[in-house]
Amino acid sequence: MASAELIHLGMDTSMNTIVVGVLRPGEEIPVVARVVNDEESVRRLIGRFGDRRMLSACYEAGPGGFELYRLLSSMGVACEVVAPSSVPKGSSDRVKTDKRDAIGVGPVAPGWGADRGPGADTGAGGGAGPGSGPGDVLDDRKRMQQRLNAVLMRHGRIWRGGSTWTPAHRAWIGRQVFDEPALKGVVATYRGGLAAREAELAAVEAELVRWAAWPPSATAVARLGAFRGIAQLTGMTPAAEVVDWRRFATARAFMGFCGLIPSEYSSGGRDRRGQITKAAPVGVRTALIEAAWAYQHRPGTGVTLSRRQAGASAQTLARSWTAQQRPHAKYQKMTRRGKPPGVAVVALAREPAGFVWAETTS
Protein backbone atom coordinates (compact mmCIF):
# COMPACT_ATOMS: atom_id res chain seq x y z
CA MET A 1 0.00 0.00 0.00
CA ALA A 2 1.36 3.44 -0.93
CA SER A 3 2.68 5.54 1.96
CA ALA A 4 0.51 8.48 0.86
CA GLU A 5 -2.60 6.41 1.63
CA LEU A 6 -1.54 5.41 5.13
CA ILE A 7 -2.39 6.94 8.50
CA HIS A 8 0.89 7.37 10.36
CA LEU A 9 1.02 7.04 14.15
CA GLY A 10 4.19 8.47 15.72
CA MET A 11 4.39 7.44 19.37
CA ASP A 12 6.44 8.72 22.28
CA THR A 13 6.27 6.11 25.04
CA SER A 14 6.91 6.40 28.75
CA MET A 15 6.17 4.13 31.69
CA ASN A 16 2.66 5.50 32.29
CA THR A 17 1.58 7.27 29.08
CA ILE A 18 1.86 7.22 25.31
CA VAL A 19 1.70 10.48 23.35
CA VAL A 20 0.51 9.81 19.80
CA GLY A 21 0.90 12.05 16.77
CA VAL A 22 -1.71 11.07 14.14
CA LEU A 23 -0.92 12.17 10.57
CA ARG A 24 -3.68 11.43 8.07
CA PRO A 25 -3.29 11.34 4.28
CA GLY A 26 -3.07 14.82 2.75
CA GLU A 27 -2.41 16.54 6.08
CA GLU A 28 0.82 18.25 7.11
CA ILE A 29 0.28 18.76 10.85
CA PRO A 30 -0.33 15.74 13.11
CA VAL A 31 -3.11 15.67 15.68
CA VAL A 32 -1.65 14.84 19.09
CA ALA A 33 -3.37 12.66 21.70
CA ARG A 34 -2.31 11.15 25.01
CA VAL A 35 -3.37 7.71 26.26
CA VAL A 36 -2.51 5.51 29.23
CA ASN A 37 0.26 3.02 28.54
CA ASP A 38 -1.71 -0.19 29.00
CA GLU A 39 -3.26 -2.78 26.68
CA GLU A 40 -6.84 -1.63 27.13
CA SER A 41 -6.06 1.99 26.22
CA VAL A 42 -3.96 1.00 23.21
CA ARG A 43 -6.73 -1.25 21.89
CA ARG A 44 -9.24 1.56 22.40
CA LEU A 45 -6.96 3.94 20.47
CA ILE A 46 -6.59 1.58 17.51
CA GLY A 47 -10.33 0.94 17.58
CA ARG A 48 -10.94 4.57 16.59
CA PHE A 49 -9.67 3.79 13.10
CA GLY A 50 -11.52 1.66 10.57
CA ASP A 51 -9.20 -0.51 8.51
CA ARG A 52 -6.12 -1.38 10.57
CA ARG A 53 -4.25 -2.13 7.37
CA MET A 54 -4.30 1.62 6.76
CA LEU A 55 -2.24 2.26 9.92
CA SER A 56 1.53 2.55 10.10
CA ALA A 57 2.87 2.99 13.64
CA CYS A 58 6.37 3.61 14.95
CA TYR A 59 8.01 4.52 18.24
CA GLU A 60 11.52 5.10 19.52
CA ALA A 61 13.30 2.18 21.17
CA GLY A 62 13.53 2.65 24.92
CA PRO A 63 13.30 0.93 28.30
CA GLY A 64 9.75 -0.22 27.59
CA GLY A 65 11.10 -2.85 25.21
CA PHE A 66 8.93 -4.43 22.50
CA GLU A 67 5.68 -5.05 24.36
CA LEU A 68 3.93 -2.27 22.42
CA TYR A 69 5.32 -3.61 19.14
CA ARG A 70 4.01 -7.10 19.89
CA LEU A 71 0.61 -5.79 20.93
CA LEU A 72 0.17 -3.70 17.78
CA SER A 73 1.42 -6.53 15.56
CA SER A 74 -1.06 -8.94 17.15
CA MET A 75 -3.82 -6.45 16.24
CA GLY A 76 -2.75 -6.36 12.60
CA VAL A 77 -1.11 -2.91 12.79
CA ALA A 78 2.22 -2.46 11.02
CA CYS A 79 4.75 -1.14 13.52
CA GLU A 80 8.43 -0.25 13.48
CA VAL A 81 10.68 0.31 16.51
CA VAL A 82 12.98 3.17 15.59
CA ALA A 83 16.61 3.42 16.68
CA PRO A 84 17.07 6.60 18.77
CA SER A 85 20.07 7.66 16.69
CA SER A 86 17.88 7.64 13.59
CA VAL A 87 15.30 10.15 14.85
CA PRO A 88 15.85 13.47 13.01
CA LYS A 89 16.97 16.25 15.33
CA GLY A 90 18.28 19.68 14.47
CA SER A 91 21.71 20.66 15.81
CA SER A 92 20.20 23.68 17.59
CA ASP A 93 17.13 21.87 18.94
CA ARG A 94 17.39 22.10 22.74
CA VAL A 95 13.70 21.71 23.57
CA LYS A 96 12.40 18.25 24.50
CA THR A 97 8.75 17.46 25.21
CA ASP A 98 6.63 14.34 24.71
CA LYS A 99 4.56 16.19 22.10
CA ARG A 100 7.63 17.18 20.06
CA ASP A 101 8.99 13.63 20.30
CA ALA A 102 5.70 12.13 19.11
CA ILE A 103 5.63 14.49 16.11
CA GLY A 104 9.34 14.09 15.38
CA VAL A 105 9.55 10.31 15.33
CA GLY A 106 8.85 8.96 11.87
CA PRO A 107 9.22 5.86 9.70
CA VAL A 108 13.01 6.03 9.50
CA ALA A 109 15.52 3.26 10.21
CA PRO A 110 13.82 0.64 12.39
CA GLY A 111 15.47 -0.58 15.59
CA TRP A 112 16.93 -4.05 15.73
CA GLY A 113 15.54 -6.92 17.76
CA ALA A 114 11.82 -6.18 17.64
CA ASP A 115 11.11 -9.66 16.36
CA ARG A 116 12.97 -11.45 19.14
CA GLY A 117 11.12 -13.91 21.28
CA PRO A 118 10.10 -12.98 24.83
CA GLY A 119 12.81 -15.17 26.33
CA ALA A 120 15.53 -13.20 24.58
CA ASP A 121 14.87 -9.92 26.41
CA THR A 122 16.90 -11.00 28.89
CA GLY A 123 29.56 4.91 49.96
CA ALA A 124 28.40 7.08 49.35
CA GLY A 125 32.07 7.74 49.64
CA GLY A 126 34.19 8.73 46.65
CA GLY A 127 37.54 8.65 48.43
CA ALA A 128 39.64 6.03 50.11
CA GLY A 129 38.12 6.44 53.58
CA PRO A 130 35.78 4.01 55.34
CA GLY A 131 32.78 5.74 53.75
CA SER A 132 33.67 4.46 50.30
CA GLY A 133 32.76 0.85 51.24
CA PRO A 134 28.99 1.26 51.63
CA GLY A 135 28.97 3.73 48.75
CA ASP A 136 30.31 1.11 46.35
CA VAL A 137 27.82 -1.50 47.57
CA LEU A 138 24.98 1.04 47.34
CA ASP A 139 25.92 1.64 43.70
CA ASP A 140 25.88 -2.11 43.06
CA ARG A 141 22.49 -2.44 44.75
CA LYS A 142 21.09 0.42 42.68
CA ARG A 143 22.27 -1.21 39.46
CA MET A 144 20.62 -4.50 40.42
CA GLN A 145 17.39 -2.66 41.23
CA GLN A 146 17.50 -0.90 37.86
CA ARG A 147 18.11 -4.16 35.99
CA LEU A 148 15.23 -5.90 37.75
CA ASN A 149 12.89 -2.97 37.11
CA ALA A 150 13.97 -2.81 33.47
CA VAL A 151 13.33 -6.49 32.68
CA LEU A 152 9.90 -6.29 34.32
CA MET A 153 9.03 -3.13 32.38
CA ARG A 154 10.14 -4.68 29.08
CA HIS A 155 7.51 -7.35 29.61
CA GLY A 156 4.67 -5.09 30.60
CA ARG A 157 5.00 -5.56 34.37
CA ILE A 158 4.76 -1.96 35.58
CA TRP A 159 4.42 -1.03 39.24
CA ARG A 160 1.79 1.65 39.76
CA GLY A 161 1.43 1.46 43.54
CA GLY A 162 3.56 4.46 44.52
CA SER A 163 7.16 4.47 45.70
CA THR A 164 9.42 1.61 44.63
CA TRP A 165 11.33 -0.79 46.88
CA THR A 166 8.80 -0.50 49.66
CA PRO A 167 7.52 -3.75 51.25
CA ALA A 168 4.45 -3.53 48.98
CA HIS A 169 6.61 -3.13 45.87
CA ARG A 170 8.85 -6.03 46.86
CA ALA A 171 5.80 -8.23 47.51
CA TRP A 172 4.48 -7.31 44.05
CA ILE A 173 7.78 -8.32 42.44
CA GLY A 174 7.58 -11.65 44.24
CA ARG A 175 4.17 -12.30 42.69
CA GLN A 176 5.35 -11.85 39.10
CA VAL A 177 5.30 -15.19 37.28
CA PHE A 178 6.70 -15.89 33.80
CA ASP A 179 6.20 -18.91 31.58
CA GLU A 180 9.39 -18.62 29.48
CA PRO A 181 12.24 -20.55 31.19
CA ALA A 182 14.91 -18.11 29.96
CA LEU A 183 13.05 -15.07 31.25
CA LYS A 184 12.20 -16.82 34.51
CA GLY A 185 15.91 -17.54 34.99
CA VAL A 186 16.92 -13.93 34.30
CA VAL A 187 14.43 -12.55 36.81
CA ALA A 188 15.52 -15.08 39.43
CA THR A 189 19.17 -14.14 38.83
CA TYR A 190 18.47 -10.43 39.26
CA ARG A 191 16.45 -11.03 42.42
CA GLY A 192 19.23 -13.21 43.82
CA GLY A 193 21.83 -10.59 42.91
CA LEU A 194 19.79 -7.89 44.65
CA ALA A 195 19.44 -10.00 47.78
CA ALA A 196 23.20 -10.58 47.79
CA ARG A 197 23.94 -6.85 47.47
CA GLU A 198 21.56 -6.04 50.32
CA ALA A 199 23.15 -8.66 52.57
CA GLU A 200 26.58 -7.33 51.65
CA LEU A 201 25.49 -3.77 52.45
CA ALA A 202 24.17 -4.82 55.85
CA ALA A 203 27.48 -6.56 56.63
CA VAL A 204 29.56 -3.54 55.56
CA GLU A 205 27.43 -1.14 57.62
CA ALA A 206 27.64 -3.38 60.68
CA GLU A 207 31.41 -3.46 60.36
CA LEU A 208 31.67 0.32 59.93
CA VAL A 209 29.60 1.01 63.04
CA ARG A 210 32.45 -0.46 65.10
CA TRP A 211 34.87 2.10 63.64
CA ALA A 212 32.68 5.09 64.49
CA ALA A 213 34.14 5.20 68.00
CA TRP A 214 37.77 5.06 66.85
CA PRO A 215 40.04 8.07 66.30
CA PRO A 216 40.59 10.21 64.34
CA SER A 217 36.93 10.26 63.28
CA ALA A 218 35.28 9.50 66.62
CA THR A 219 34.99 13.09 67.88
CA ALA A 220 33.58 14.45 64.62
CA VAL A 221 31.14 11.53 64.23
CA ALA A 222 29.83 12.04 67.78
CA ARG A 223 29.35 15.78 67.30
CA LEU A 224 27.71 15.44 63.90
CA GLY A 225 25.34 12.81 65.30
CA ALA A 226 23.62 15.58 67.25
CA PHE A 227 22.25 16.92 63.97
CA ARG A 228 19.07 15.66 62.36
CA GLY A 229 19.64 13.35 59.42
CA ILE A 230 23.27 12.58 60.35
CA ALA A 231 23.54 9.23 62.08
CA GLN A 232 26.78 7.29 62.58
CA LEU A 233 27.24 6.00 59.04
CA THR A 234 26.27 9.30 57.43
CA GLY A 235 28.62 11.18 59.74
CA MET A 236 31.53 8.84 59.09
CA THR A 237 31.78 9.77 55.43
CA PRO A 238 32.58 13.49 55.85
CA ALA A 239 34.62 12.75 58.98
CA ALA A 240 36.83 10.27 57.11
CA GLU A 241 37.07 12.36 53.93
CA VAL A 242 37.78 15.74 55.54
CA VAL A 243 39.76 14.80 58.68
CA ASP A 244 41.13 18.32 59.25
CA TRP A 245 38.13 20.65 59.13
CA ARG A 246 40.16 23.78 59.91
CA ARG A 247 41.75 23.76 56.47
CA PHE A 248 38.54 25.45 55.31
CA ALA A 249 38.65 29.08 56.40
CA THR A 250 34.91 29.65 55.89
CA ALA A 251 31.69 27.69 55.59
CA ARG A 252 31.46 28.70 51.92
CA ALA A 253 34.91 27.24 51.29
CA PHE A 254 33.69 23.91 52.69
CA MET A 255 30.53 24.12 50.54
CA GLY A 256 32.75 24.62 47.50
CA PHE A 257 34.83 21.59 48.51
CA CYS A 258 31.61 19.56 48.60
CA GLY A 259 30.49 20.82 45.18
CA LEU A 260 27.33 22.39 46.61
CA ILE A 261 27.78 25.94 45.31
CA PRO A 262 26.31 27.04 41.96
CA SER A 263 28.53 26.93 38.89
CA GLU A 264 29.30 30.33 37.40
CA TYR A 265 30.21 31.70 33.99
CA SER A 266 31.43 35.29 33.87
CA SER A 267 32.40 37.14 30.73
CA GLY A 268 32.68 40.90 30.45
CA GLY A 269 29.82 42.39 32.39
CA ARG A 270 27.71 39.21 32.35
CA ASP A 271 27.44 36.76 35.23
CA ARG A 272 25.53 33.54 34.74
CA ARG A 273 24.96 30.92 37.44
CA GLY A 274 24.04 27.33 36.78
CA GLN A 275 23.69 24.03 38.59
CA ILE A 276 25.89 23.02 41.51
CA THR A 277 29.49 22.29 40.55
CA LYS A 278 29.40 18.67 41.84
CA ALA A 279 33.10 18.92 42.65
CA ALA A 280 34.72 15.97 44.39
CA PRO A 281 34.43 14.21 46.77
CA VAL A 282 31.07 12.81 45.80
CA GLY A 283 30.72 10.91 49.08
CA VAL A 284 30.61 14.03 51.26
CA ARG A 285 28.13 15.74 48.95
CA THR A 286 25.90 12.67 48.83
CA ALA A 287 25.92 12.34 52.62
CA LEU A 288 24.92 15.99 53.07
CA ILE A 289 22.15 15.75 50.47
CA GLU A 290 20.81 12.60 52.14
CA ALA A 291 20.85 14.45 55.47
CA ALA A 292 19.07 17.42 53.89
CA TRP A 293 16.03 15.27 53.07
CA ALA A 294 15.29 15.16 56.82
CA TYR A 295 14.82 18.93 56.89
CA GLN A 296 11.75 18.86 54.66
CA HIS A 297 9.85 17.85 57.81
CA ARG A 298 8.79 20.20 60.57
CA PRO A 299 11.56 20.81 63.14
CA GLY A 300 11.42 18.41 66.06
CA THR A 301 13.47 16.12 68.30
CA GLY A 302 12.40 12.50 68.30
CA VAL A 303 13.56 9.60 70.44
CA THR A 304 16.43 8.58 68.14
CA LEU A 305 17.84 12.11 67.80
CA SER A 306 17.50 12.70 71.55
CA ARG A 307 19.52 9.55 72.17
CA ARG A 308 22.28 10.73 69.83
CA GLN A 309 22.30 14.17 71.48
CA ALA A 310 22.90 12.78 74.97
CA GLY A 311 25.97 14.47 76.43
CA ALA A 312 26.19 17.15 73.73
CA SER A 313 27.07 20.70 74.80
CA ALA A 314 24.49 23.47 74.97
CA GLN A 315 26.18 25.18 72.01
CA THR A 316 25.88 22.02 69.90
CA LEU A 317 22.23 21.57 70.80
CA ALA A 318 21.45 25.20 69.94
CA ARG A 319 23.27 24.89 66.64
CA SER A 320 21.44 21.64 65.88
CA TRP A 321 18.06 23.27 66.49
CA THR A 322 18.89 26.26 64.27
CA ALA A 323 20.09 23.80 61.63
CA GLN A 324 16.56 22.35 61.54
CA GLN A 325 14.70 25.64 61.37
CA ARG A 326 16.55 27.42 58.58
CA PRO A 327 16.66 24.56 56.04
CA HIS A 328 13.00 23.69 56.72
CA ALA A 329 11.92 27.30 56.13
CA LYS A 330 13.98 27.40 52.93
CA TYR A 331 12.46 24.12 51.72
CA GLN A 332 8.93 25.38 52.34
CA LYS A 333 9.65 28.63 50.53
CA MET A 334 11.16 26.93 47.47
CA THR A 335 8.46 24.28 47.10
CA ARG A 336 5.70 26.89 47.45
CA ARG A 337 7.31 28.68 44.51
CA GLY A 338 7.02 25.51 42.43
CA LYS A 339 10.50 24.02 42.81
CA PRO A 340 10.49 20.20 42.73
CA PRO A 341 11.35 18.61 46.10
CA GLY A 342 14.57 17.08 44.75
CA VAL A 343 15.82 20.43 43.45
CA ALA A 344 14.91 22.14 46.72
CA VAL A 345 16.73 19.51 48.82
CA VAL A 346 19.93 19.82 46.79
CA ALA A 347 19.78 23.59 47.18
CA LEU A 348 19.23 23.49 50.92
CA ALA A 349 22.02 20.92 51.41
CA ARG A 350 24.31 23.95 51.61
CA GLU A 351 22.64 24.81 54.93
CA PRO A 352 23.61 21.60 56.81
CA ALA A 353 27.04 21.83 55.16
CA GLY A 354 27.53 25.23 56.78
CA PHE A 355 26.35 24.02 60.18
CA VAL A 356 28.54 20.91 59.94
CA TRP A 357 31.58 23.10 59.29
CA ALA A 358 30.66 25.41 62.16
CA GLU A 359 30.22 22.50 64.55
CA THR A 360 33.52 20.79 63.71
CA THR A 361 35.58 24.01 63.80
CA SER A 362 34.12 25.49 66.99
Question: Residue 77 in contact with residue 43, Cβ under 8 Å?
Answer: no
Q: Examine residue 122 and state whether it is found in any structural domain, yes or no.
A: no
Asked if 39 and 88 sit in the same domain, the reply is yes
Range of the domain at 153: 132-211
Mean pLDDT, to the nearest integer, of 151-155? 92
- Of 274 and 166, the one with more pLDDT: 166
Report how far residue 21's alpha carbon sits from residue 358's, in angstroms, rounded to the nearest whole number: 56
Asked if 18 and 85 sit in the same domain, the reply is yes
CATH number at residue 9: 3.30.420
Q: Any idea which of 86-100, 107-121, 122-136, 332-346 has the lowest mean pLDDT?
A: 107-121
Q: Examine residue 127 and state whether it is found in any structural domain, yes or no.
A: no
Domain boundary among 211, 232, 255: 211
Percent of the chain, pLDDT > 90? Answer: 34
Q: Name the domain count of the chain.
A: 3
pLDDT at 333 (0 to 100): 92
Report how far residue 131's alpha carbon sits from residue 212's, in angstroms, rounded to the nearest whole number: 11
pLDDT band for position 106 (cuts 50, 70, 90) = low
Q: What angle do CA 224, 229, 230 make, to 5 degrees?
A: 30
pLDDT band for position 108 (cuts 50, 70, 90) = very low
Q: Examine residue 169 and state whether it is found in any structural domain, yes or no.
A: yes
Q: Examine residue 140 and state whether it is found in any structural domain, yes or no.
A: yes
Q: Examine residue 126 and state whether it is found in any structural domain, yes or no.
A: no
pLDDT band for position 248 (cuts 50, 70, 90) = confident
Q: Any idea which of 92-106, 289-303, 337-351 has the lowest mean pLDDT?
A: 92-106
Mean pLDDT, to the nearest integer, of 54-82? 89
Mean pLDDT, to the nearest integer, of 72-100? 68
Nearest to 291 by CA among 225, 242, 357, 335: 225
Length of the chain: 362
Q: Examine residue 307 and state whether it is found in any structural domain, yes or no.
A: yes
Report how far residue 279's alpha carbon sits from residue 258's, in angstroms, rounded to the nearest whole number: 6
pLDDT band for position 111 (cuts 50, 70, 90) = very low
pLDDT band for position 50 (cuts 50, 70, 90) = confident
Mean pLDDT, to the nearest integer, of 97-109? 55
Q: Examine residue 240 and state whether it is found in any structural domain, yes or no.
A: yes
Nearest to 82 by CA among 58, 65, 63, 101: 58
Asked if 233 and 354 sit in the same domain, the reply is yes
Asked if 108 and 146 sit in the same domain, the reply is no
| Its pTM surpasses 0.85 | no
Mean pLDDT, to the nearest integer, of 338-346? 88
- Of 276 and 235, the one with more pLDDT: 235
